[in-house]
Amino acid sequence: METFMFNLYGSEHNKAVKHPVTAQMNKKLRDFYFKNPQMRAFLASVEKRDEKFIISGFKGTEFESGEKVINRDTWDRGLLIVAEGELIEFDQDGENKIYKEGSILGVEQFLFNKKWERDLICK
């Protein structure tokens, strides 16, 4: 496993992404939810019962190195949270960004249905 990420409600919007569920993945998800500082900050202002509802909505997805996660100029209302590994955001100008564990991507795309401006690929 190279990169492990979450896609909130991604299965409804992106049929190409499979969401396998395994016991090992569920353990990693629980550890990430309750131990990662970025995830704790993301859920800090949410009540406990609402937090459980949000967490139950997350779908875990594994990607291989070099696999494309998001295509540029597409609409995919998925909130992506990198739990393990890295994602690279490719820019046409050559200014690439690397997102590591705890990165939360796609907030504007999820809330405002904006297009993804760059390709996202697993590192």
Spatial CA neighbour of 100 closest among 21, 13, 36, 11: 36
In a 13 Å sphere around the CA of 105, the CA atoms on its Cβ side amount to: 28
Whole-structure pTM value: 0.65
CATH code of the domain in which 64 resides? 2.60.120.10
At residue 5, the pLDDT reads: 47
At residue 22, the pLDDT reads: 65
Residues of the chain with pLDDT under 70: 1-23
At residue 14, the pLDDT reads: 52
At residue 21, the pLDDT reads: 60
At residue 18, the pLDDT reads: 56
Q: How many domains does the chain have?
A: 1
Which residue range(s) make up the domain with 101?
3-122
Cα angle 100, 105, 106; round to 5:
165
